[in-house]
Amino acid sequence: MEPLQENLGQLDTEQRNPRTSELDRLSVLELVATLHAENFTVAEVVERALPQVAVAVEQIAARLEQGGRLFYVGAGTSGRLGVLDASECPPTFGVPRDLVQGIIAGGERALTTSIEGAEDSPEQGVQDLEARQVTALDVVCGIAASGRTPYVIGALEYGKRIGAYTIALVNVKQARMAEVAEITLSAVTGAEAVTGSTRLKAGTAQKMILNLLTTATMVRLGKVYGNLMVDVRATNFKLRDRALRIVMSATGAERSQAEDALNLAEGEVKTTIIMLTASVDVGTARGRLSEANGWVRRALELSD
């Protein structure tokens, strides 16, 4: 890998924000209002990236359908956000825990402890992907506000070399990562409220885009019916109650009827919806789901 040009002072995220130049002189109410005002710029910046986000979603969904996986790779705040988004996919969408994985420079300890030097090794980025046996079927999404984190670039270069689809999620113009990745999701949030603190606007933009990537992908994989999370796994009281309410909302069934059907279907929300809507037994409902590749709407259009 070519040496990185360390002109970090030129990065968009390192500039000083004139709107927040006197934070320490403000009253508490003025302070929180000034900080919050900066957040209003984030959604507009993310909106400009939507065409690229849509392309990325199409690629992710296509590869996951073929048995691939999605890997988020980042350091510091970016890495933690990737791990957070990945960890929330199984309970929300009922997917295996290895389908979406977050990899952070410095490993699990970096989730709660700052390990600043971990981001400077591109070789470690390669090794962490190799340890997960990343293949050409997979997607590697590198996340870095600066667009130049060596650890992330190393991972992206490795992903590209083996044929994985590579995505760069950055918060600056002319990002080094854009030279490596097949597509760049650029949300240029500009100068931070506290100079250089990219856990603020840049981090918020990253979280919004990661939400879009996984949520839209899961919809495209049939994990959502209407706007209901029909592959939810009822692993605690809250989720069991949610599963029941989802069935009731989707079918119009009374609580007792929905509960009985859900028990017959062994907690499978999709199966229960088809049973109640199409008036079929568990086996027939499961068969239709299988034929429809897990899509509830398509399964409901089928008949014996």
- 88 noted as active-site residue: yes
For residue 163, give Cα distances in angstroms to 20, 137, 157, 177, 243.
44, 8, 10, 17, 39
Q: What is the pLDDT of residue 36?
A: 96
The 10s digit of each residue's pLDDT in 239-268 is 889 999 999 999 999 999 999 999 999 999
List 119, 157, 182, 268, catalytic entry:
119
Domain edges within the chain: 8-220, 237-300
The 10s digit of each residue's pLDDT in 15-62 is 888 899 999 999 999 999 999 999 999 999 999 999 999 999 999 999
237-300 matches 8-220 in CATH topology? no
What SS3 state is found at 164? coil
The 10s digit of each residue's pLDDT in 112-170 is 888 778 899 999 999 999 999 999 999 999 999 999 999 999 999 999 999 999 999 99
Distance, in Å, from the CA atom of 102 to the CA atom of 159, rounded to the nearest integer, reads 15
The 10s digit of each residue's pLDDT in 82-101 is 999 999 999 999 999 999 99
List 6, 22, 47, 88, catalytic entry:
88
CATH superfamily of 8-220: Glucose-6-phosphate isomerase like protein; domain 1 (3.40.50.10490)
Going by C-alpha positions, the residue among 95, 129, 103 that lies closest to residue 217 is 95
- Classify domain 237-300 at the CATH class level: mainly alpha
**Please, which pLDDT band fits residue 5 given cuts at 50, 70 and 90?**
very low
- 119 noted as active-site residue: yes
Residue 282, burial from CB neighbour count under 10 angstroms (0-12, 13-18, 19+)? middle
Token pair of 216 as six digits: 């839209």
